[in-house]
């Protein structure tokens, strides 16, 4: 991520910010265009989990912490992510 931001000539946090905005706009467009279905719901959920991990690692600074404190946001995203994904999967006959 650092190399990419250097290549683009922007700060790493600005690159993360632009990614977060892009993923949010993608999520909105999926909703706006009336798309639905299990695949799209899971894709939107996956995008949200990626966004959450970006915030945790880069904005909260956990990506540079060693040991157990590196993982709480990942675990927080992983467990509800699995549960939500499972519930939506089960809601489709």
Partner 1 sequence: MTADRSVLQSNYPPGDLAIWIFILAELTVFAVFFAAYAFTRLQHVELFNEYQLTLDREAALINTLALITSSYFVVRAVSAIKVDDRRRCVHWLLAAISMGLLFLIVKTFEYVHHYSEGINLSSNTFYMFYLSLTFFHFMHVIMGMVILAAIAVMAARGKYSRQEHTGIESGASYWHMVDLVWLILFPLVYVMR
Pull the structure tokens for residue 4: 């990419």
Q: Of 7 and 19, which CB lies nearer to partner 1 in the complex structure?
A: 19
Tell whether residue 74 is a contact of partner 1 (CB under 8 A): no
Beta carbon of residue 38, minimum distance to partner 1 (angstroms, whole number): 10
Q: Integer distance in angstroms from the first to the last C-alpha of the chain?
A: 40
Q: Of 7 and 92, which CB lies nearer to partner 1 in the complex structure?
A: 92
Instruction: Spell out the SS3 assignment of 5-48.
Output: HHHHCCCHHHHHHHHHHHHHHHHHHHHHCCCCCHHHHHHHHHHH
What are the residues binding partner 1 (CB under 8 A)?
12-14, 16-17, 20-21, 24-25, 27-28, 30-32, 36, 41, 44-45, 47-49, 51-52, 55-56, 58-67, 69, 72-73, 76-77, 79-80, 83-84, 87-88, 90-91
């Amino acid at each position: 991520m650092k190399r990419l931001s250097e290549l683009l000539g922007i700060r790493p946090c600005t690159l993360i910010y632009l990614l977060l905005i892009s993923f949010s706009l993608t999520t909105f467009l999926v909703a706006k265009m009336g798309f639905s279905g299990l695949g799209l719901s899971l894709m939107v959920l996956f995008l949200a989990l990626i966004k959450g991990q970006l915030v945790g690692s880069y904005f909260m600074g956990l990506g540079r912490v060693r040991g157990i404190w590196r993982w709480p946001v990942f675990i927080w995203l992983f467990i509800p992510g699995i549960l939500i994904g499972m519930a939506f999967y089960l809601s489709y006959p």
